């Protein structure tokens, strides 16, 4: 009887040892680090042909955008303009006609207003329009200094000004074409608008600010 119990005890001990031996690899597998995913291959550099095509596509996108602005049936161009400064006005000979705000009249045509400050203070330009409208958008055509625009106001038929946007203009100079369009949309004005005032912070974009035209959109 004792011999039988001894054999049974030995069998139980042997079975327990075998069980631990079988479980050990599973524990090792659980603690093993997961295989690292292979890093994605670096993107191939564009070919000269692909760069040339991308440049042409950007030029086409710019032309399409500009054409939609120039031929917008709800848009009208300034009929006159004034400004807080004009390039050359502090010189002995005064400002040249080629830099005066009267050049802001009409569509973009290469005749421009240029301010008299590069990095100091603020400048403003004001334009008026033939037909008062409930405005929804203003577009200004810059040859230089578009990033310096800091405030946009519209002038009602009663002469009051309303600020429709102010802050830091985060739209950079457009490299796709010869001009940069400053474009701001806003809620339709409750009363008709007949003028626009644009404020420029000169130190934001060092250099003279050059504007060709201003467009008011509304109906």
pLDDT tens for each residue of 172-213: 999 999 999 999 999 999 999 999 999 999 999 999 999 999
Q: What is the pLDDT of residue 185?
A: 98
Q: Dihedral sign, CA of 213, 63, 138, 120?
A: negative
Instruction: Using only the alpha carbons of the chain, give its radius of gyration.
Output: 35
On whether the 75-218 domain is CATH 2.60.120.260, my answer is yes
| 27-47 per-position pLDDT tens digit | 455 566 666 777 777 888 999
Longest dimension (CA), the chain: 131
Q: What is the pLDDT of residue 38?
A: 73
| 134-148 per-position pLDDT tens digit | 999 999 999 999 999
Q: Dihedral sign, CA of 115, 117, 118, 119?
A: negative
Share of the chain above pLDDT 90, in %: 77
Q: What is the pLDDT of residue 100?
A: 97
CB atoms within 10 A of CB 108: 20
| d(C-alpha 14, C-alpha 8), whole Å | 10
Contact 154, 161 (CB under 8 A): yes
On the 0-12 / 13-18 / 19+ scale of CB atoms within 10 A, 174 is: middle
| d(C-alpha 117, C-alpha 169), whole Å | 19
- Which two tokens mark 41? 């291959």
Alpha-helical regions (H) of the chain: 2-31, 48-70
- Which two tokens mark 158? 């009663």
| d(C-alpha 196, C-alpha 194), whole Å | 7
Q: What is the pLDDT of residue 40?
A: 79
């Amino acid at each position: 009887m004792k011999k039988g119990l001894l054999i049974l005890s030995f069998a139980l001990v042997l079975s327990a040892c075998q069980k631990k031996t079988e479980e050990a690899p599973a524990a090792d597998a659980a603690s093993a680090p997961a295989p690292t995913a292979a890093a994605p291959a670096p993107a191939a550099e564009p070919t000269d042909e692909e760069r040339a095509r991308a440049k042409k596509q950007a030029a086409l996108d710019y032309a399409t955008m500009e054409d939609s602005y120039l031929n917008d049936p709800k848009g009208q161009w300034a009929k006159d303009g004034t400004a807080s400064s004009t390039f050359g006005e502090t010189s002995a000979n005064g400002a040249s006609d080629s830099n005066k705000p009267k050049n802001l009249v009409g569509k973009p045509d290469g005749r421009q207003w240029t301010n008299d400050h590069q990095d100091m203070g603020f400048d403003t330009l004001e334009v008026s329009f033939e037909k008062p409208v409930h405005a929804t958008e203003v577009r200004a055509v810059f040859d230089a200094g578009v990033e310096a625009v800091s405030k946009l106001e519209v002038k009602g038929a009663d002469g009051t000004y309303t600020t429709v946007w102010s802050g830091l203009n985060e739209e950079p100079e457009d490299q796709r074409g010869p001009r940069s369009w400053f474009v701001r949309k806003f809620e339709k004005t409750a009363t008709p608008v007949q003028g626009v005032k644009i404020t420029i912070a000169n130190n934001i974009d060092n250099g003279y600010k050059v504007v060709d035209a201003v467009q008011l959109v509304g109906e």
